[in-house]
Protein backbone atom coordinates (compact mmCIF):
# COMPACT_ATOMS: atom_id res chain seq x y z
CA UNK A 1 0.00 0.00 0.00
CA UNK A 2 1.68 3.17 -1.22
CA UNK A 3 1.24 6.51 0.51
CA UNK A 4 0.37 7.98 -2.90
CA UNK A 5 -2.40 5.46 -3.58
CA UNK A 6 -6.18 5.50 -3.40
CA UNK A 7 -6.01 2.58 -0.96
CA UNK A 8 -4.03 4.64 1.55
CA UNK A 9 -6.41 7.57 1.08
CA UNK A 10 -9.13 5.26 2.42
CA UNK A 11 -7.00 3.35 4.94
CA UNK A 12 -5.53 6.31 6.81
CA UNK A 13 -8.72 8.26 7.71
CA UNK A 14 -10.36 5.03 8.89
CA UNK A 15 -7.36 4.18 11.07
CA UNK A 16 -7.24 7.70 12.56
CA UNK A 17 -10.99 7.75 13.21
CA UNK A 18 -10.99 4.38 15.00
CA UNK A 19 -7.76 5.25 16.83
CA UNK A 20 -9.24 8.35 18.48
CA UNK A 21 -12.55 6.58 19.16
CA UNK A 22 -10.84 3.82 21.15
CA UNK A 23 -9.74 4.26 24.79
CA UNK A 24 -6.03 4.79 25.36
CA UNK A 25 -5.37 1.38 26.95
CA UNK A 26 -6.20 -0.58 23.77
CA UNK A 27 -5.01 1.84 21.08
CA UNK A 28 -1.66 0.08 20.81
CA UNK A 29 -3.45 -3.15 19.89
CA UNK A 30 -5.36 -1.46 17.10
CA UNK A 31 -2.26 0.35 15.79
CA UNK A 32 -0.29 -2.91 15.78
CA UNK A 33 -3.05 -4.69 13.83
CA UNK A 34 -3.28 -1.76 11.40
CA UNK A 35 0.51 -1.74 10.95
CA UNK A 36 0.68 -5.48 10.27
CA UNK A 37 -2.22 -5.20 7.83
CA UNK A 38 -0.44 -2.29 6.11
CA UNK A 39 2.68 -4.44 5.73
CA UNK A 40 0.76 -7.53 4.60
CA UNK A 41 -0.77 -5.51 1.75
CA UNK A 42 2.54 -5.98 -0.09
CA UNK A 43 2.88 -9.71 0.62
CA UNK A 44 1.40 -11.72 3.47
CA UNK A 45 4.60 -13.73 3.95
CA UNK A 46 6.50 -10.56 4.89
CA UNK A 47 4.80 -10.50 8.27
CA UNK A 48 6.55 -13.70 9.37
CA UNK A 49 9.96 -12.14 8.76
CA UNK A 50 9.24 -8.95 10.67
CA UNK A 51 7.72 -10.95 13.54
CA UNK A 52 10.79 -13.22 13.67
CA UNK A 53 13.04 -10.16 13.78
CA UNK A 54 10.86 -8.60 16.47
CA UNK A 55 10.72 -11.73 18.62
CA UNK A 56 14.46 -12.35 18.47
CA UNK A 57 15.30 -8.76 19.46
CA UNK A 58 12.64 -8.73 22.19
CA UNK A 59 13.91 -11.99 23.73
CA UNK A 60 17.61 -11.10 23.51
CA UNK A 61 17.01 -7.66 25.04
CA UNK A 62 15.17 -9.17 28.03
CA UNK A 63 17.93 -11.71 28.55
CA UNK A 64 20.58 -8.97 28.42
CA UNK A 65 18.59 -6.78 30.80
CA UNK A 66 18.36 -9.58 33.40
CA UNK A 67 21.98 -10.70 33.00
CA UNK A 68 24.80 -9.18 35.06
CA UNK A 69 27.74 -10.88 33.37
CA UNK A 70 28.97 -8.84 30.42
CA UNK A 71 30.25 -11.91 28.61
CA UNK A 72 26.80 -13.52 28.56
CA UNK A 73 25.25 -10.20 27.55
CA UNK A 74 27.59 -10.10 24.59
CA UNK A 75 26.56 -13.63 23.57
CA UNK A 76 22.87 -12.65 23.56
CA UNK A 77 23.69 -9.49 21.63
CA UNK A 78 25.73 -11.27 18.97
CA UNK A 79 23.15 -14.05 18.64
CA UNK A 80 20.24 -11.71 17.97
CA UNK A 81 22.19 -9.24 15.82
CA UNK A 82 23.59 -12.19 13.86
CA UNK A 83 20.11 -13.65 13.36
CA UNK A 84 18.76 -10.33 12.04
CA UNK A 85 21.78 -9.80 9.78
CA UNK A 86 21.42 -13.34 8.39
CA UNK A 87 17.80 -12.58 7.47
CA UNK A 88 18.96 -9.40 5.75
CA UNK A 89 21.85 -11.13 3.97
CA UNK A 90 19.74 -14.03 2.73
CA UNK A 91 16.79 -12.04 1.43
CA UNK A 92 18.65 -8.98 0.17
CA UNK A 93 22.23 -9.93 -0.63
CA UNK A 94 22.45 -13.68 -1.30
CA UNK A 95 22.05 -13.52 -5.08
CA UNK A 96 24.34 -10.49 -5.31
CA UNK A 97 27.09 -12.22 -3.34
CA UNK A 98 26.49 -15.47 -5.21
CA UNK A 99 26.79 -13.76 -8.61
CA UNK A 100 29.92 -11.88 -7.49
CA UNK A 101 31.60 -15.12 -6.36
CA UNK A 102 30.57 -16.82 -9.60
CA UNK A 103 32.10 -14.00 -11.65
CA UNK A 104 35.34 -14.21 -9.66
CA UNK A 105 35.53 -18.00 -10.09
CA UNK A 106 34.78 -17.76 -13.80
CA UNK A 107 37.59 -15.23 -14.19
CA UNK A 108 40.02 -17.89 -12.94
CA UNK A 109 38.23 -20.66 -14.90
CA UNK A 110 37.10 -22.37 -11.69
CA UNK A 111 33.85 -24.33 -11.78
CA UNK A 112 31.11 -22.81 -9.59
CA UNK A 113 27.55 -24.05 -9.68
CA UNK A 114 25.68 -22.64 -6.69
CA UNK A 115 22.22 -21.76 -8.07
CA UNK A 116 20.51 -18.40 -7.67
CA UNK A 117 17.30 -18.28 -5.69
CA UNK A 118 14.23 -16.27 -6.62
CA UNK A 119 13.83 -14.42 -3.34
CA UNK A 120 11.54 -11.42 -3.26
CA UNK A 121 13.10 -8.57 -1.28
CA UNK A 122 10.83 -7.82 1.70
CA UNK A 123 9.85 -4.16 1.70
CA UNK A 124 11.54 -2.15 4.46
CA UNK A 125 13.74 -5.00 5.72
CA UNK A 126 16.85 -2.79 5.83
CA UNK A 127 15.03 -0.18 7.90
CA UNK A 128 13.48 -2.39 10.56
CA UNK A 129 16.62 -4.55 10.77
CA UNK A 130 18.75 -1.50 11.59
CA UNK A 131 16.11 -0.32 14.03
CA UNK A 132 16.13 -3.61 15.96
CA UNK A 133 19.95 -3.78 15.92
CA UNK A 134 20.15 -0.24 17.29
CA UNK A 135 17.72 -1.18 20.05
CA UNK A 136 19.77 -4.26 20.98
CA UNK A 137 23.00 -2.27 21.16
CA UNK A 138 21.31 0.42 23.28
CA UNK A 139 20.07 -2.24 25.73
CA UNK A 140 23.54 -3.81 25.83
CA UNK A 141 25.08 -0.41 26.55
CA UNK A 142 22.37 0.14 29.20
CA UNK A 143 21.27 3.33 27.47
CA UNK A 144 17.66 2.08 27.42
CA UNK A 145 15.77 -0.50 29.42
CA UNK A 146 14.51 -3.62 27.69
CA UNK A 147 10.82 -3.33 26.81
CA UNK A 148 8.94 -6.04 28.72
CA UNK A 149 5.70 -5.75 26.75
CA UNK A 150 5.96 -7.72 23.51
CA UNK A 151 3.03 -5.91 21.90
CA UNK A 152 4.48 -2.46 22.61
CA UNK A 153 7.87 -3.53 21.26
CA UNK A 154 6.24 -5.00 18.16
CA UNK A 155 4.51 -1.66 17.59
CA UNK A 156 7.88 0.11 17.88
CA UNK A 157 9.25 -2.09 15.09
CA UNK A 158 6.18 -2.12 12.85
CA UNK A 159 4.51 1.32 13.32
CA UNK A 160 3.16 1.76 9.79
CA UNK A 161 4.08 5.40 8.98
CA UNK A 162 7.80 4.63 9.37
CA UNK A 163 7.80 0.90 8.62
CA UNK A 164 8.93 0.65 5.00
CA UNK A 165 11.29 3.63 4.55
CA UNK A 166 12.02 5.13 7.94
CA UNK A 167 12.93 7.28 9.72
CA UNK A 168 14.98 4.70 11.65
CA UNK A 169 13.66 5.55 15.09
CA UNK A 170 15.59 5.15 18.33
CA UNK A 171 13.89 3.19 21.09
CA UNK A 172 14.56 5.83 23.74
CA UNK A 173 12.53 8.41 21.82
CA UNK A 174 9.74 6.21 20.40
CA UNK A 175 8.96 3.53 22.99
CA UNK A 176 7.82 6.04 25.67
CA UNK A 177 5.37 7.49 23.16
CA UNK A 178 3.68 4.09 22.82
CA UNK A 179 2.73 4.31 26.50
CA UNK A 180 1.59 7.94 26.45
CA UNK A 181 -2.02 9.00 26.06
CA UNK A 182 -2.48 11.01 22.87
CA UNK A 183 -5.67 13.07 23.11
CA UNK A 184 -7.07 14.59 19.95
CA UNK A 185 -5.10 17.77 19.21
CA UNK A 186 -6.63 19.86 16.43
CA UNK A 187 -3.44 21.86 15.92
CA UNK A 188 -1.32 18.71 15.74
CA UNK A 189 -3.76 17.10 13.30
CA UNK A 190 -3.77 20.22 11.13
CA UNK A 191 0.03 20.45 11.12
CA UNK A 192 0.35 16.75 10.36
CA UNK A 193 -2.10 16.90 7.46
CA UNK A 194 -0.31 19.97 6.06
CA UNK A 195 3.01 18.13 6.16
CA UNK A 196 1.43 15.11 4.45
CA UNK A 197 0.02 17.40 1.77
CA UNK A 198 3.43 18.99 1.18
CA UNK A 199 5.09 15.58 0.98
CA UNK A 200 2.48 14.39 -1.52
CA UNK A 201 3.09 17.51 -3.63
CA UNK A 202 6.83 16.83 -3.76
CA UNK A 203 6.24 13.19 -4.68
CA UNK A 204 3.50 13.25 -7.32
CA UNK A 205 3.98 16.70 -8.85
CA UNK A 206 7.80 16.89 -8.89
CA UNK A 207 9.48 13.51 -8.34
CA UNK A 208 7.18 11.37 -10.46
CA UNK A 209 7.20 13.89 -13.31
CA UNK A 210 10.99 14.22 -13.31
CA UNK A 211 11.18 10.42 -13.32
CA UNK A 212 9.98 10.44 -16.94
CA UNK A 213 13.10 12.29 -18.07
CA UNK A 214 15.40 10.40 -15.72
CA UNK A 215 14.16 6.95 -16.76
CA UNK A 216 14.46 7.75 -20.47
CA UNK A 217 18.01 9.11 -20.32
CA UNK A 218 19.45 6.60 -17.86
CA UNK A 219 18.10 3.65 -19.88
CA UNK A 220 19.95 4.66 -23.09
CA UNK A 221 22.47 7.41 -22.22
CA UNK A 222 24.49 6.95 -25.44
CA UNK A 223 21.56 8.35 -27.44
CA UNK A 224 21.64 11.73 -25.71
CA UNK A 225 23.95 14.73 -25.67
CA UNK A 226 25.98 16.07 -22.76
CA UNK A 227 23.55 18.89 -22.01
CA UNK A 228 20.55 16.50 -21.99
CA UNK A 229 22.37 14.11 -19.66
CA UNK A 230 23.46 16.95 -17.40
CA UNK A 231 19.84 18.09 -17.07
CA UNK A 232 18.79 14.48 -16.40
CA UNK A 233 21.46 14.13 -13.69
CA UNK A 234 20.26 17.33 -12.02
CA UNK A 235 16.68 16.12 -12.38
CA UNK A 236 17.54 12.87 -10.61
CA UNK A 237 19.23 14.82 -7.83
CA UNK A 238 15.98 16.72 -7.34
CA UNK A 239 13.80 13.64 -7.93
CA UNK A 240 15.39 11.48 -5.26
CA UNK A 241 15.22 14.31 -2.73
CA UNK A 242 11.57 15.14 -3.44
CA UNK A 243 10.70 11.44 -3.52
CA UNK A 244 12.41 10.45 -0.27
CA UNK A 245 11.80 13.65 1.69
CA UNK A 246 8.23 13.57 0.37
CA UNK A 247 7.79 10.09 1.83
CA UNK A 248 9.34 11.26 5.11
CA UNK A 249 7.03 14.27 5.27
CA UNK A 250 4.01 12.00 4.81
CA UNK A 251 5.34 9.55 7.43
CA UNK A 252 6.08 12.26 10.00
CA UNK A 253 2.78 13.99 9.24
CA UNK A 254 0.77 10.75 9.54
CA UNK A 255 2.40 9.99 12.88
CA UNK A 256 1.77 13.56 14.07
CA UNK A 257 -1.93 13.26 13.25
CA UNK A 258 -2.05 10.40 15.78
CA UNK A 259 0.05 12.27 18.34
CA UNK A 260 3.39 10.54 17.66
CA UNK A 261 6.65 12.41 16.98
CA UNK A 262 9.14 10.97 14.52
CA UNK A 263 12.66 12.31 14.15
CA UNK A 264 13.65 14.81 11.48
CA UNK A 265 15.19 12.98 8.52
CA UNK A 266 16.03 15.82 6.12
CA UNK A 267 17.28 19.32 6.76
CA UNK A 268 17.55 20.95 3.31
CA UNK A 269 20.60 18.87 2.27
CA UNK A 270 21.29 20.67 -1.00
CA UNK A 271 22.12 23.86 0.92
CA UNK A 272 25.10 22.02 2.44
CA UNK A 273 28.48 23.74 2.03
CA UNK A 274 30.47 20.49 2.20
CA UNK A 275 29.88 16.76 1.78
CA UNK A 276 30.36 16.37 5.53
CA UNK A 277 27.56 18.86 6.13
CA UNK A 278 25.45 17.13 3.48
CA UNK A 279 25.44 13.97 5.61
CA UNK A 280 24.29 15.99 8.61
CA UNK A 281 21.28 17.04 6.55
CA UNK A 282 20.52 13.99 4.36
CA UNK A 283 18.81 10.84 5.71
CA UNK A 284 19.71 11.90 9.22
CA UNK A 285 18.33 8.78 10.90
CA UNK A 286 20.66 6.59 8.81
CA UNK A 287 23.76 8.79 9.01
CA UNK A 288 23.45 9.08 12.80
CA UNK A 289 22.88 5.31 13.02
CA UNK A 290 26.16 4.63 11.21
CA UNK A 291 27.87 7.27 13.34
CA UNK A 292 26.71 5.85 16.68
CA UNK A 293 26.84 2.11 15.95
CA UNK A 294 29.76 1.80 13.53
CA UNK A 295 31.93 4.91 13.08
CA UNK A 296 32.43 5.72 16.78
CA UNK A 297 32.98 2.05 17.80
CA UNK A 298 35.64 1.83 15.07
CA UNK A 299 37.41 4.73 16.74
CA UNK A 300 35.92 7.59 14.74
CA UNK A 301 38.36 10.48 14.46
CA UNK A 302 40.05 9.68 17.79
CA UNK A 303 42.64 7.51 16.08
CA UNK A 304 45.68 8.00 13.87
CA UNK A 305 45.07 9.89 10.63
CA UNK A 306 45.31 6.89 8.31
CA UNK A 307 42.98 4.83 10.51
CA UNK A 308 40.54 7.74 10.54
CA UNK A 309 40.47 7.71 6.73
CA UNK A 310 39.95 3.94 6.72
CA UNK A 311 37.08 4.29 9.20
CA UNK A 312 35.36 6.80 6.93
CA UNK A 313 35.75 4.56 3.89
CA UNK A 314 34.45 1.51 5.76
CA UNK A 315 31.39 3.39 6.96
CA UNK A 316 30.48 4.78 3.56
CA UNK A 317 31.16 1.56 1.67
CA UNK A 318 28.80 -0.22 4.07
CA UNK A 319 26.34 2.66 3.79
CA UNK A 320 26.35 2.13 0.03
CA UNK A 321 25.88 -1.61 0.44
CA UNK A 322 22.96 -0.99 2.84
CA UNK A 323 21.11 0.76 0.03
CA UNK A 324 21.13 -2.16 -2.34
CA UNK A 325 22.68 -5.37 -3.61
CA UNK A 326 24.52 -3.81 -6.53
CA UNK A 327 28.08 -2.59 -7.09
CA UNK A 328 26.66 0.78 -8.16
CA UNK A 329 25.57 1.51 -4.57
CA UNK A 330 28.95 0.48 -3.20
CA UNK A 331 30.69 2.82 -5.68
CA UNK A 332 28.26 5.59 -4.67
CA UNK A 333 29.13 5.09 -1.00
CA UNK A 334 32.83 4.85 -1.83
CA UNK A 335 32.68 8.17 -3.69
CA UNK A 336 31.22 9.90 -0.64
CA UNK A 337 33.90 8.33 1.52
CA UNK A 338 36.58 9.58 -0.88
CA UNK A 339 35.03 13.06 -0.90
CA UNK A 340 35.37 13.22 2.89
CA UNK A 341 38.91 11.84 2.93
CA UNK A 342 40.01 14.28 0.20
CA UNK A 343 38.39 17.15 2.12
CA UNK A 344 40.42 16.27 5.21
CA UNK A 345 43.64 15.81 3.23
CA UNK A 346 43.31 19.14 1.41
CA UNK A 347 42.05 21.22 4.34
CA UNK A 348 45.29 23.24 4.72
CA UNK A 349 45.69 23.75 0.96
CA UNK A 350 42.12 24.96 0.62
CA UNK A 351 42.68 27.35 3.49
CA UNK A 352 45.69 28.86 1.71
CA UNK A 353 43.77 29.19 -1.56
CA UNK A 354 40.94 30.90 0.31
CA UNK A 355 43.39 33.36 1.84
CA UNK A 356 45.05 34.00 -1.53
CA UNK A 357 41.72 34.72 -3.24
CA UNK A 358 40.55 36.75 -0.21
CA UNK A 359 37.12 35.13 -0.43
CA UNK A 360 36.63 35.69 3.29
CA UNK A 361 35.87 39.31 2.35
CA UNK A 362 32.90 38.10 0.33
CA UNK A 363 31.15 35.52 2.56
CA UNK A 364 28.04 35.29 0.37
CA UNK A 365 30.15 34.50 -2.71
CA UNK A 366 32.23 32.00 -0.74
CA UNK A 367 29.10 30.27 0.55
CA UNK A 368 27.58 30.11 -2.95
CA UNK A 369 30.76 28.55 -4.36
CA UNK A 370 30.86 25.90 -1.63
CA UNK A 371 27.18 25.05 -2.09
CA UNK A 372 27.65 24.83 -5.88
CA UNK A 373 30.67 22.52 -5.60
CA UNK A 374 29.02 20.29 -3.00
CA UNK A 375 25.81 20.06 -5.03
CA UNK A 376 27.71 18.96 -8.13
CA UNK A 377 29.82 16.42 -6.25
CA UNK A 378 26.64 14.92 -4.81
CA UNK A 379 24.99 14.98 -8.25
CA UNK A 380 27.91 13.12 -9.82
CA UNK A 381 27.70 10.41 -7.15
CA UNK A 382 23.93 10.08 -7.73
CA UNK A 383 24.67 8.94 -11.31
CA UNK A 384 26.10 5.68 -9.94
CA UNK A 385 23.28 5.38 -7.43
CA UNK A 386 20.68 5.58 -10.21
CA UNK A 387 22.41 3.48 -12.87
CA UNK A 388 21.30 -0.14 -13.26
CA UNK A 389 24.91 -1.36 -13.48
CA UNK A 390 28.49 -0.12 -13.45
CA UNK A 391 28.63 -0.41 -17.24
CA UNK A 392 25.48 1.72 -17.52
CA UNK A 393 27.00 4.31 -15.17
CA UNK A 394 30.20 4.28 -17.23
CA UNK A 395 28.19 4.84 -20.41
CA UNK A 396 26.32 7.74 -18.83
CA UNK A 397 29.49 9.43 -17.54
CA UNK A 398 31.26 8.90 -20.88
CA UNK A 399 28.41 10.49 -22.86
CA UNK A 400 28.06 13.25 -20.26
CA UNK A 401 31.65 14.40 -20.78
CA UNK A 402 32.23 13.49 -24.43
CA UNK A 403 28.97 13.58 -26.38
CA UNK A 404 28.61 17.24 -27.37
CA UNK A 405 26.42 16.67 -30.43
CA UNK A 406 23.09 18.23 -29.47
CA UNK A 407 19.84 16.81 -30.84
CA UNK A 408 16.25 16.73 -29.70
CA UNK A 409 14.62 18.63 -26.81
CA UNK A 410 16.67 19.75 -23.82
CA UNK A 411 14.31 18.03 -21.40
CA UNK A 412 13.81 14.48 -22.64
CA UNK A 413 10.38 12.88 -22.39
CA UNK A 414 8.42 15.98 -21.32
CA UNK A 415 6.51 18.36 -23.55
CA UNK A 416 6.58 22.12 -22.99
CA UNK A 417 3.50 22.02 -20.73
CA UNK A 418 4.91 19.24 -18.53
CA UNK A 419 8.32 20.92 -18.40
CA UNK A 420 6.70 24.17 -17.28
CA UNK A 421 4.81 22.34 -14.50
CA UNK A 422 7.93 20.54 -13.32
CA UNK A 423 10.14 23.64 -13.31
CA UNK A 424 7.43 25.74 -11.65
CA UNK A 425 6.97 23.16 -8.88
CA UNK A 426 10.75 22.98 -8.37
CA UNK A 427 10.92 26.77 -8.00
CA UNK A 428 8.10 26.69 -5.42
CA UNK A 429 9.95 23.99 -3.47
CA UNK A 430 13.26 25.86 -3.59
CA UNK A 431 11.61 29.07 -2.36
CA UNK A 432 9.93 27.17 0.50
CA UNK A 433 13.28 25.56 1.41
CA UNK A 434 15.00 28.97 1.41
CA UNK A 435 12.36 30.27 3.81
CA UNK A 436 12.83 27.18 6.00
CA UNK A 437 16.62 27.50 5.94
CA UNK A 438 16.35 31.09 7.13
CA UNK A 439 13.73 30.14 9.73
CA UNK A 440 11.14 32.38 8.12
CA UNK A 441 8.49 29.80 7.21
CA UNK A 442 7.21 29.17 10.74
CA UNK A 443 6.97 32.92 11.40
CA UNK A 444 5.03 33.40 8.17
CA UNK A 445 2.64 30.59 9.09
CA UNK A 446 1.88 32.08 12.48
CA UNK A 447 1.57 35.66 11.22
CA UNK A 448 -0.41 34.98 8.06
CA UNK A 449 -4.17 35.35 8.37
CA UNK A 450 -6.20 32.17 8.33
CA UNK A 451 -7.72 32.84 4.90
CA UNK A 452 -4.25 33.09 3.35
CA UNK A 453 -3.11 29.83 4.92
CA UNK A 454 -6.20 28.07 3.60
CA UNK A 455 -5.54 29.51 0.15
CA UNK A 456 -2.11 27.86 0.24
CA UNK A 457 -3.65 24.54 1.37
CA UNK A 458 -6.23 24.65 -1.42
CA UNK A 459 -3.53 25.60 -3.94
CA UNK A 460 -1.54 22.51 -2.94
CA UNK A 461 -4.62 20.29 -3.22
CA UNK A 462 -5.49 21.71 -6.64
CA UNK A 463 -1.89 21.34 -7.83
CA UNK A 464 -1.80 17.70 -6.70
CA UNK A 465 -5.19 17.04 -8.33
CA UNK A 466 -4.45 18.74 -11.66
CA UNK A 467 -0.71 18.29 -12.11
CA UNK A 468 0.11 15.15 -10.13
CA UNK A 469 1.32 11.96 -11.78
CA UNK A 470 -1.17 9.25 -10.82
CA UNK A 471 0.71 6.26 -12.16
CA UNK A 472 1.33 5.40 -8.47
CA UNK A 473 5.07 5.03 -8.82
CA UNK A 474 6.63 3.44 -5.77
CA UNK A 475 8.87 5.57 -3.59
CA UNK A 476 12.53 5.10 -4.55
CA UNK A 477 13.63 4.04 -1.07
CA UNK A 478 11.03 1.25 -0.91
CA UNK A 479 13.54 -0.93 -2.80
CA UNK A 480 15.96 -0.69 0.12
Note every long-range contact of 288-293, with CB atoms under 8 Å and residues 24 or more positions apart, other chains counting: 289/130, 289/134, 289/168, 290/315, 290/318, 290/319, 292/134, 293/133, 293/134, 293/137
In sequence order, the 6+-apart residues with CB closer than 8 A to the CB of 377 are: 275, 339
Q: How far is CA 171 from the centre of its chain?
A: 19
Question: For residue 327, how many C-alpha atoms fall within 13 Å in the half-sphere facing its CB?
Answer: 10
CA distance 93 to 2: 24
Tell me the CA distances in angstroms from 357 to 35, 58, 153, 365, 369, one per residue in order.
Answer: 57, 58, 57, 12, 13
Query: From the candidates 323, 336, 360, 416, which is the catalytic residue?
Result: 323
Torsions phi, psi for 249 (to 5 deg): -60, -45
**Cα→Cα distances 345→308, 309, 350, Å:** 11, 9, 10
Integer Cα distance of 411 and 450 in angstroms = 39
Do 206 and 242 form a contact (C-beta atoms < 8 A)? yes
- Is residue 323 annotated as part of the catalytic site, yes or no? yes
- Count of positions (residues) in the chain: 480
Residues that are catalytic? 323
Amino acid sequence: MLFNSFEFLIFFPIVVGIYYFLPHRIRWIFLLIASYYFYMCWKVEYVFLIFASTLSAYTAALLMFKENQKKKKKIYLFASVGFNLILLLVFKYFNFLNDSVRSAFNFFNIFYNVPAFKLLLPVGISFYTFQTIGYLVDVYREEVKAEKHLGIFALYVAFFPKLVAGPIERAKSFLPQCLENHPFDSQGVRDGLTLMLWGCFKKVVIADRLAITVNSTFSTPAEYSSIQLLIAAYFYTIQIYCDFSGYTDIAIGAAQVMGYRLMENFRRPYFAQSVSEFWKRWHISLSTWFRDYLYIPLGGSRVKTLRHYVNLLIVFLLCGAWHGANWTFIVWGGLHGLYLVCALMTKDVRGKILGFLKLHRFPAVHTAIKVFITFNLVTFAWIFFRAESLSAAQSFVKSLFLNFSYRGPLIVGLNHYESFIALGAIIITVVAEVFQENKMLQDMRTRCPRWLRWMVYYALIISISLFGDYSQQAFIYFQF
